[in-house]
A and B are shown apart, each in its own frame.
Chain A
Amino acid sequence: MSVPYPVASRGPEDAPARPGSASERNMPAPGHDGSWDGPTYYGRPALKPAPFEAEVVGGYIFLAGLSGASALIATVADVTMGERAAGAVRRGRYTALLAPTIGSALLVYDLHTPERFFNMFRVAKATSPMSIGTWILVGFSGCAALTAAAQYASDRGAAPRTARAAARAASLPAAVLGAGLSTYTAALLAATSTPLWAAAPRALAVRFGASAVACGAAALWLGERDGGLARRLETLAAAALAVDLAGDAVSAIAYRRKGVAPAMAGPAGTLEKVVGTGLGAALPLALYAASRLAGRRPPALGTLAALAILVGGAAFRTSIIRAGATSAERPDVSFRFMQPDNLPD
């Protein structure tokens, strides 16, 4: 009687990497890049990487930042400039719908049992950034949807005064929750045992928040006709990018000091440096500075800068997710990170 089992000859699927023998010769070269130079267990991972799909979760983090910051900037523009910023406010309020719609869909898609997504609403836990984020997203979605609906009503001329007041009333909590939505994702990554994410919790959060504001300002810049407001959106984006770059420098020091820098040496780290930081922050900053110095502002350059910020923002999040997985899979990185000198005070 033949047993219809998939026996070993069929070959393993997703089997762990297997160095060839019990000897230590297949281990990573010890300490060549500041990582752990002590023993490992056959070079096997000591941690498990998060089972997140980098593009899906990275895409959500990007959209959450973009939506939250758009709602925030639109509200600030509405409160300070009123009718003069009507176009930017309208676009900001509609852009804020990206996280509740596409973002939520991405989150549910990334669950391994998506049919049970509603179990997220069973509890609220301060120790779990994912639970905190769930409730921030729920609150933000409600407020952003109300704001957008009232905006739509006033655009169509249905009870314009009431609708405008309702939009402003709902946009204030949306702005506060938007700030949370664009930054809680850093706590989500930092409050894990994945070395790269946990190594610089504060700098990562500053980077996520600043990059979100830059993305929001860039998105609102696209389509802004008022030259004065457009220039100020550029200045805001430039300020946010400067904060982002400062956060990048601080986190790079922390990564080196805590021994997780080798995880940034691979393709994901290169993508982060070239596209995330180079294209997404350094290039737009240079473009803004050049146009300011030249005194001329060709719109094509502004569009290029805005698009670079958005593409860089998405690449930054995705590559951080990927590099985090690398840091968890490399025992030399994780053992170096989990040495007593890296313990929080």
Chain B
Amino acid sequence: MPTMSGVVTIAQESRFQLTDEKGVSHLFLLSPHALAEDDDLEPLQREQARVRVTYEPARNILGYRARRIERI
């Protein structure tokens, strides 16, 4: 699965925005099989944590489905 790293800039429920090194923002939705839960996103956003997201593409929406989030 592809990965992307960047900073968690917005967290809302199970959705979060990741701003990558080039300054482009990407929207992710947590997969139901993701290891992270909604409650894990808010601290990441507060700390503006740098993370690596393993994701799968989603069709018909401008966003991706996140399977795994790791701090880096």
**A and B associate in one complex:** yes
* A:3-42 near B, CB below 8 Å: 3, 5-6, 10, 12-15
> How many B residues, CB 8 Å from partner?
10
Give Cα distance in the complex from A1 to B22, angstroms.
Answer: 10
Contact yes or no, B59 A13, CB < 8 A: yes
Please report whether the interface of chain A is mostly helix, strand, loop or mixed according to DSSP: loop
Contact yes or no, B24 A3, CB < 8 A: yes
Contact yes or no, A13 B62, CB < 8 A: no
One of B32, B57, B60, B62 near A12 (C-beta < 8 A): B60
Residues of chain B lying within 8 A (CB to CB) of residue A113? 32
Map CB proximity to B onto A116-140 as digits: 1 under 8 Å, 0 otherwise. 0000000000000000000000000
> How many A residues, CB 8 Å from partner?
13
Give Cα distance in the complex from A10 to B59, angstroms.
Answer: 8
Nearest CB of B to A211, in Å = 34
Residues of chain A lying within 8 A (CB to CB) of residue B32? 112-115
Residues of chain B lying within 8 A (CB to CB) of residue A12? 59-60
Give Cα distance in the complex from A252 to B60, angstroms.
Answer: 40
Residues of chain A lying within 8 A (CB to CB) of residue B33? 115
16 A–B pairs (Cβ distance < 8 Å), ordered by A: A1-B24, A5-B62, A6-B57, A6-B58, A6-B59, A6-B61, A6-B62, A10-B59, A12-B59, A12-B60, A13-B59, A15-B60, A113-B32, A114-B32, A115-B32, A115-B33
Counting from the closest, the 10 A-B pairs by CB-CB distance are A13-B60, A113-B32, A13-B59, A12-B60, A5-B62, A6-B59, A15-B60, A112-B32, A6-B57, A14-B60
